Amino acid sequence: MRGLLSSVVLMVALGLTGCYDDDEDYSAQSENCAVVDYGLGETYTLCCRLSCTAEYDDGDYTEQCREENSCTAASGAPCPLFVLQDNRFPACL
């Protein structure tokens, strides 16, 4: 009897605390990169990364996206200023 009472109390407590979550959340990321070759082994990768998160809650929908641009040399070093001045970052998809 005590086990049955404990089970009922637990079920009621879970029901009252809202263990059912009707929220739907998601996140997505994409990356679009372009390689620029200046010859003599000088290549640079320009990228645009798009990160989005969204939430659907009781009929309300919100979405937030963030773009991040980066440029790196083949060696892993940052891009020189002339590469950024001569080229555009690819579009975020």
Domains in the chain: boundaries:
22-86
SS3 call for 42: coil
Q: Give 36-80 pLDDT, tens digit per residue.
A: 998 888 899 999 999 999 988 777 888 899 999 999 998 888 899
pLDDT score recorded for residue 7: 42
Contact between 71 and 45 under an 8 Å Cβ cutoff? The reply is yes
> Left (φ > 0), alpha (ψ -120 to 50) or beta: where does 6 sit?
alpha
